[in-house]
Amino acid sequence: MPKKSRLPETRVKKTEPPKGGHDWVIWAAWADRITFEEILEKSGFTEAQVIVLMRKTLKPGSFRLWRKRVSETSYKHRKLFKRDRKKFE
């Protein structure tokens, strides 16, 4: 089955929570292939607000793990993701 777009799809075991709530923002922040721009479009949370929400709701160790994971990856920002994809084409 061909892909619908060039952007990768997120496949997770847990189903997606209802959009607009804090649960969805946390779920989207953990999902590798959902960018901060998409979170802003769908929920209205900026990157800084997502970081504050994650800091308040996660345990300290989980927050450090998430923060390290997000800062090391280029696909949490749409512009960086597209730039890195062009290198492989």
Tens digit of each residue's pLDDT (9 = 90 or more) over 27-44: 999 987 788 999 999 999
**pLDDT over threshold 90, residue 16:** no
Q: Quick one: DSSP state of residue 20?
A: T
Rg of the chain over Cα atoms, rounded to whole angstroms, equals 14
The tokens 């979170």 sit on which residue? 39
Query: Which amino acid, residue 44?
Result: G
Tens digit of each residue's pLDDT (9 = 90 or more) over 61-84: 999 999 998 887 667 777 776 666
Is pTM beyond 0.75? Reply is: no
